[in-house]
Amino acid sequence: MTDNNTTTPEAKPLDFIRQIIADDLRSGKHHKIVTRFPPEPNGFLHIGHAKSICLNFGAALENNGFCHMRFDDTNPSKEESAYVESIKRDVQWLGFGWGENLFYASDYFDQLYAFALQLINLGKAYVCDLSAEEIRSHRGTLTEPGIESPYRNRTTEENLALFQGMKNGEFSEGSRVLRARIDMFSPNLNMRDPVIYRILKVAHHRTGDKWCIYPMYDYTHCLSDAIEGITHSLCTLEFEDHRPLYDWCLDTLKTPCHPRQIEFARLNLTYTVMSKRKILQMVQGNYVEGWDDPRMLTISGIRRRGYPASAIRKFCADIGIGKKESWIDMSVLENAVRDDMNNNAPRVMAVLNPLKVIIDNYPEGQNEELTAQNHPQKPEMGTRTIPFSREIFIEREDFLEDPPKKFFRLGPDREVRLRYGYFIRCVSVDKDPITGEIIAIHCTYDPQTRGGSAPDGRKVKGTIHWVSVPHAVSCQVRLYDRLFLTENPDADKSVDFKEHLNPESLTILDNCMLEPSLAKTLPGEYFQFERNGYFCADLINSQPGAPVFNRTVTLKDSWVKIEKS
Ligand code: ATP
Ligand code: MG
C-alpha cells in the first residue's frame, strides 16, 4: 500500500463522543484519555470493526491519549490465536498502533476470580444449580418478573466452598454457575441475577488447562476496563441495556476507577452481512474462498481487494458517529475508495477482452516508443514509454461490425484515436470461417497523427486503449460484483441469508493483456486501467513478475439498485 498516514481530522463539529471527551478534559475530570478496542478473537475483523477502531484509536490519538488493544478472550471454545494474529495485522494495516498496550482479558483471570470471591463475601453472588434451561425460564420476560432461584440464599460459606469446587473441576459442565445476586424483579432483564461464571472444560489458547471456569462477557468487560484505567468505554448500541450491569459490578466492587460506557450506532452496510458468525458460515461452507475473499467486507478481504487503508479511514470519518441506527449504502464506501484511488493510482493500459488489430500499412517488425502520462492531473507522477507495433490488442467491445450512429469507437470504415498513439481506420474484418466469430480486424494508421491530432484538423470522437501484441503481458483478472443480491440479506429471518448470494459475484478473465510496464508489478500494487477501473495485484495469487489483478472498484458508480424482491 502506498499510504498509511492517518487522516487529518477535518474542521467539522465534534461527534457526541468526542464532545464528551473534550468536555471531560476541559473540566479536569480526566487529564489523559484512555480508550480500548476489545475484539473477541473468534473470527476476522470486518468493516464494522473498522468504525470502532477508527473511533477508539482516533479519539485517543487526537487527544494525546492511549488506546489499548484488548482481546476479549473469555470463550475458549470459539477462540484461536490465529484470529488474534489476524486482528493485530488488520488494526496495524488500518494505520493504528497500541505500543505497549496489548492486553488480554485472560491476563485478568486471577483478578476476576478474586473479585468474584469478593462478591460472594458481600452477599452479592451465589452458586446456582439450576440448569441453563431453568435459568432461562425463571428469568421472566419484559412484561413478567423473574422467579428467584431456590439457591439464591445459600450461605457465604457454602457459596465459597462450591465456587472453589467449580474452579477445582469437581463439577461437570453445565451443572453449576456463579450468578450475581441483583434483582429478579428488575425491569432490565440483564439485572435479573445474570450468570457471571460458567464451567467449561476447554483449554484456553493462552491459559491452557489452568482454568475450567470462565467469566462471562459482561462481568469481564467492565472489570477489564477498570483494571486498565479506561476513561471512556465505547461500544455499540446493543450494550445500552447492559450499562446498568456494567455500573453495578464496578459500584459493588468499589473499583478505584469507574470508566464511562458510551454507546454509539453500529455500522450497517447494504448488500453485505457483517456478523462474524455469518461470515464464518460462508467460509466454512466454501461459499467464498476464505476470510480474505475480496468479495467480503472483512478487513483482510478489502485489503486483498485493493481498498486503500486511507480510504477506509476517510469513509469512517465521513459516516461519523451517532446514536441512531442507520444504513449506509455500499456506494458510499465505494466512492471513498474510488476518490482515494483516483488521486493516487498510476494510469496504465490493459485490455480485458482482447481483439487483435493488424495495422496493414505499419511496417512489419517495426516498433516505436510512445510517451504516456502516469496521472493526467499529477505531472509529478511522471511519464513512461509504451511500445507500439503493427499488431495491437483492443477491447473486443470497442469494435462493432454494425455500429449505431452514436457509437464513437471502431466499426468498418470508422476512425478512432489510440490513446497516446495514432488515428486508425478499420478496413476489413477476419472471421472464423465456421463460427463466424471475429478473430481480428485490419486497420490502417495515419502516420501524421502521432500524439493524437491530425495536421489537417480532422476530428475523431473516440479514444480507445490498446496494448502492443508482441509486448503484451498476459494475466488473469478477477472482476467482482456484489456478493448478495438483496440490500439486506438478513432482513427476512425465515430465509437463510445465503439464499441471497449472487451466483455471478466473481468473473475470472484468464487472457487479459497488460502493457509491459506492468510485468514487474508487486502484490498489493494498484493502478487505474484506463477506461476499465481500478485494479490491485492480488496479495495471494500474484507472484512478482506474474500478477493476478483484482478489480477493486469500477470507474463510475455501478451500484444501481436492483428491485427489491
Ligand atoms: P460480530 O457481531 O460481527 O461478531 P462483535 O461485536 O461480536 O461483532 P467483537 O469482537 O465483540 O465483535 O467487537 C469488537 C468491537 O467492535 C466491539 O466494541 C463492537 O461493539 C465493535 N463492533 C462490532 N461490529 C460493529 C459494527 N458493525 N459497527 C461498529 N462497531 C462494531
Ligand atoms: Mg461481541
Q: Nearest 5 degrees, angle CA 513-CA 516-CA 517? A: 125
478 is an active site residue: no
Residue 320: count other Cβ atoms within 10 Å of its Cβ.
14
pLDDT tens, residue by residue, 46-58: 999 999 999 999 9
Does the fold of domain 269-347+475-564 match that of domain 16-264? Answer: no
Query: First CA to last CA across the chain, in angstroms?
Result: 39
| Closest C-alpha to ligand 1, atom 29 | 266
Flag whether pLDDT at 561 surpasses 90: no
Cell digits for 519? Answer: 510485468
Give the cell for residue 548. Answer: 493476478
**Of ligand 1's atoms, which has the minimum distance to the CA of residue 239?**
20
- DSSP reduced 3-state for 242: helix
The question of whether 356 is a catalytic residue gets the answer no
pLDDT at 5: 47
Nearest Cα to 59, choosing from 390, 257, 317? 317
- Cβ neighbours around 549 below 10 Å, total: 31
Question: Catalytic: which of 78, 124, 139, 266?
Answer: 266
pLDDT band at 549 (very low <50, low <70, confident <90, very high): very high
Q: How far apart, in whole angstroms, are the C-alpha atoms of residue 354 and residue 510?
A: 11
Cα of 274 from ligand 1 centre, angstroms:
9
Closest Cα partner for 93 from 45, 48, 36, 61?
Answer: 45
276 catalytically annotated: yes
- Tell me the whole-structure pTM to 2 decimals: 0.93
The pLDDT-based confidence of 246 (bands split at 50, 70, 90) is: very high
Closest ligand to 71 CA? 1
Going from the Cα of 236 to the center of ligand 2, the distance in angstroms, rounded, reads: 10
Backbone angles phi, psi at 177, to 5 degrees: -135, 165
Question: May I ask the CATH class of domain 16-264?
Answer: alpha beta
Domain boundaries, the chain: 16-264, 269-347+475-564, 350-465
Q: Return the residue whose CA atom lies nearest to atom 8 of ligand 1.
A: 275
Query: Ligand 1: which atom is nearest the Cα of residue 41?
Result: 10
| Ligand 1 atom nearest to 51, measured from its CA | 29
The C-alpha angle 512, 514, 516, rounded to 5 degrees, equals 150
Residue 253 DSSP label: T
**Quick one: cell of 561?**
439498485
Question: Which superfamily does 269-347+475-564 belong to?
Answer: Ribosomal Protein L25; Chain P (2.40.240.10)
CATH class for the region spanning 350-465: mainly beta
Which residues line ligand 1 at a C-beta cut-off of 6 Å? 38-40, 48-49, 51-52, 235-236, 266-267, 274-277
User: What's the pLDDT score for residue 10?
Assistant: 55
- For 401-425, write each residue's pLDDT tens digit: 999 999 999 999 999 999 999 999 9
Q: How far is the CA of 105 from the centre of ligand 2 (A)?
A: 13
Give the residues across from 536 on adjacent strands. Answer: 526, 550
Cell numbers given for 498: 445465503
What's the pLDDT band for 543 if we cut at 50, 70, 90? confident
* Nearest residue (CA) to ligand 1, atom 23: 49
Q: Which of 154, 179, 181, 276 is catalytic?
A: 276
Q: Where does residue 99 rank: exposed (0-12), middle (13-18), buried (19+ CB within 10 A)? A: exposed
* Cβ contact 57:50 at 8 Å: no
Quick: pLDDT tens for 161-209: 999 999 999 999 999 999 999 999 999 999 999 999 999 999 999 999 9
